[in-house]
């Protein structure tokens, strides 16, 4: 099986000189690059933190570009909890199971009986949790079956288990997601609990979470919108995406458990820091135009060139 990693961004020469032998570094398109090992031995889930305008959504688009270009069976659900329609460019790409633009204001205009975007987002979370649970049951059953076969002295077979395809749940705007589901969904469970469970159950069975948000503290009140630590703990790949805006010591503490970590973020557009375990790597996300962004003042040719970095649409 090829190494399961996603490209995050390029490494500046100075940073490479300092942390060149990091397990997060791999050559990518001929450049030393920061990567996220998400398969076994790596971190299955990621959290992306950064102040508004720091480049979180841009980084998520780059991650998704890597995913839709990767061969192999995959089902990716993207929830744009800010309702900003920032992932439309992936419509119809290989492996995309759904793009949900959660927007309670638009939901209010839907005819009665139409499932709302918020309920569809709640459904996507519930489905992902149910799938992670099912896959764990199958995995356990395969292990028990192997033990039963052991009684037969002639048996030399490995457990009869087919690793399933990858499942990805990508949520841009965790706090907005949780708020919208709590406030507007009639079907949502406890969002944090469900995400924690999905993270825990998904680890061994190729169900991956990517959550992006601004850094906020989880208070004890019901309406707080921070990310509780049990959920933060599941997100083993931590990324700070702030570029030249930078992170305060408090934000750095929240994202990396270290007030000084963010000092290493390259102060340039697309500047980020990734941390997995004790390994850290600063990197710069290459600029990639969001081809469907209606507000960009760019020539059509540039949009088309950016779009051509994606595979051919399948649907």
Ligand X SMILES: Nc1ncnc2c1ncn2[C@@H]1O[C@H](COP(=O)(O)OP(=O)(O)OP(=O)(O)O)[C@@H](O)[C@H]1O
Q: Which residues, in sequence order, are CB contacts of 160 under 8 Å at separation 6+?
A: 142, 145, 146
Q: Which residues, in sequence order, are CB contacts of 197 under 8 Å at separation 6+?
A: 129, 132, 133
Residue 22 interacting entry, from Mg ion, ligand X, none, C-beta within 5 to 8 Å by type: none
Q: Which residues, in sequence order, are CB contacts of 109 under 8 Å at separation 6+?
A: none
CA 135 centroid distance within chain: 20
Angle between helices 117-149 and 174-184 (to 10 degrees): 100
Q: Which residues, in sequence order, are CB contacts of 189 under 8 Å at separation 6+?
A: 122, 125, 126
57 in contact with ligand X (CB under 6 A): yes
Question: Which residue lies nearer to ligand X by CB, 146 or 288?
Answer: 288
Residue 52 interacting entry, from ligand X, Mg ion, none, C-beta within 5 to 8 Å by type: ligand X
Residue 63 interacting entry, from Mg ion, ligand X, none, C-beta within 5 to 8 Å by type: none
> Residues 117-156 vs ligand X: string with x where CB under 6 A?
----------------------------------------
Question: Which residue lies nearer to ligand X by CB, 94 or 214?
Answer: 214
Query: Total residues at the site for ligand X (CB under 6 A)?
Result: 15
Residue 53 interacting entry, from ligand X, Mg ion, none, C-beta within 5 to 8 Å by type: ligand X
Q: What is the dihedral of CA 258, 260, 264, 267, to 10 degrees?
A: 120
35 in contact with ligand X (CB under 6 A): no
Residue 216 beta carbon to ligand X: minimum distance, rounded to whole angstroms: 12
Judged by CB under 6 A, the residue of 4, 5, 56, 264 near ligand X is 56
Let me know how long the chain is: 315
| Distance (Å) of CA 201 to CA 130, 156, 197, 237, 287 | 10, 29, 6, 17, 35
CA distance 102 to 83: 5
Judged by CB under 6 A, the residue of 53, 159, 165, 277 near ligand X is 53
Residue 42 interacting entry, from Mg ion, ligand X, none, C-beta within 5 to 8 Å by type: none
Question: Which residue lies nearer to ligand X by CB, 59 or 122?
Answer: 59
Question: Which residue lies nearer to ligand X by CB, 56 or 120?
Answer: 56
Residue 203 interacting entry, from ligand X, Mg ion, none, C-beta within 5 to 8 Å by type: none
Q: Tell me the DSSP string of 84-140.
A: --TTGGGTT-TTEEEEEE--HHHHTTSPTTSPPHHHHHHHHHHHHHHHHHHHHHHHH
55 in contact with ligand X (CB under 6 A): yes
Question: Residue 187's closest CA among 122, 99, 116?
Answer: 122
269 in contact with ligand X (CB under 6 A): yes
Q: Which of these ranges, 22-30, 51-59, 72-80, 297-305, lies near ligand X under the rule CB under 6 A? A: 51-59
Residue 105 beta carbon to ligand X: minimum distance, rounded to whole angstroms: 17
Q: Taking a C-beta distance cutoff of 8 angstroms, is the pair 96, 78 a contact? A: yes
33 in contact with ligand X (CB under 6 A): no
Residues that bind ligand X (CB under 6 A): 50, 52-58, 82, 214, 241, 269-270, 285, 287
């Amino acid at each position: 099986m090829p190494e399961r990693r996603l490209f995050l961004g390029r490494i500046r020469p100075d940073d490479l000189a300092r942390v060149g032998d990091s397990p997060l570094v791999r050559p990518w398109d001929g450049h030393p690059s920061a990567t996220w090992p998400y398969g076994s031995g790596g971190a299955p889930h990621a959290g992306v933190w950064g102040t508004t305008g720091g480049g979180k959504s841009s980084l998520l688009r780059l991650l998704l570009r890597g995913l839709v270009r990767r061969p192999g069976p995959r089902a990716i659900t993207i929830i744009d909890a800010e309702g900003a329609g920032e992932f439309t460019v992936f419509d119809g790409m290989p492996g995309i199971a759904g793009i949900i633009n959660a927007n309670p204001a638009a939901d209010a205009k839907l005819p009665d009986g139409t499932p709302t975007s918020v309920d569809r987002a709640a459904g996507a979370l519930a489905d992902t949790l149910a799938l992670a649970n099912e896959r764990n049951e199958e995995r356990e059953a395969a292990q028990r079956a192997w033990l039963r076969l052991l009684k037969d002295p002639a048996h030399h077979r490995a457990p009869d288990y087919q690793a399933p395809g990858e499942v990805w749940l990508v949520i841009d705007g965790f706090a907005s997601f949780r708020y919208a589901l709590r406030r507007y969904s009639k079907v949502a469970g406890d969002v944090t609990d469900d995400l924690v469970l999905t993270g825990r159950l998904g680890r061994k069975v190729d169900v991956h979470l990517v959550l992006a948000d601004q850094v906020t503290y989880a208070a004890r009140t019901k309406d707080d919108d921070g990310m509780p630590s049990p959920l933060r703990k599941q997100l083993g790949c931590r990324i700070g995406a702030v570029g030249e805006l930078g992170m305060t010591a408090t934000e750095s503490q929240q994202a990396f458990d270290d007030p000084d970590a963010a000092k290493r973020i390259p102060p340039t557009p697309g500047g980020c820091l990734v941390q997995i375990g004790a390994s850290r790597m600063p990197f710069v996300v290459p600029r990639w135009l969001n081809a469907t962004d209606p507000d960009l003042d760019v020539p059509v040719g540039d949009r088309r060139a950016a779009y051509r970095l994606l595979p051919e649409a399948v649907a």
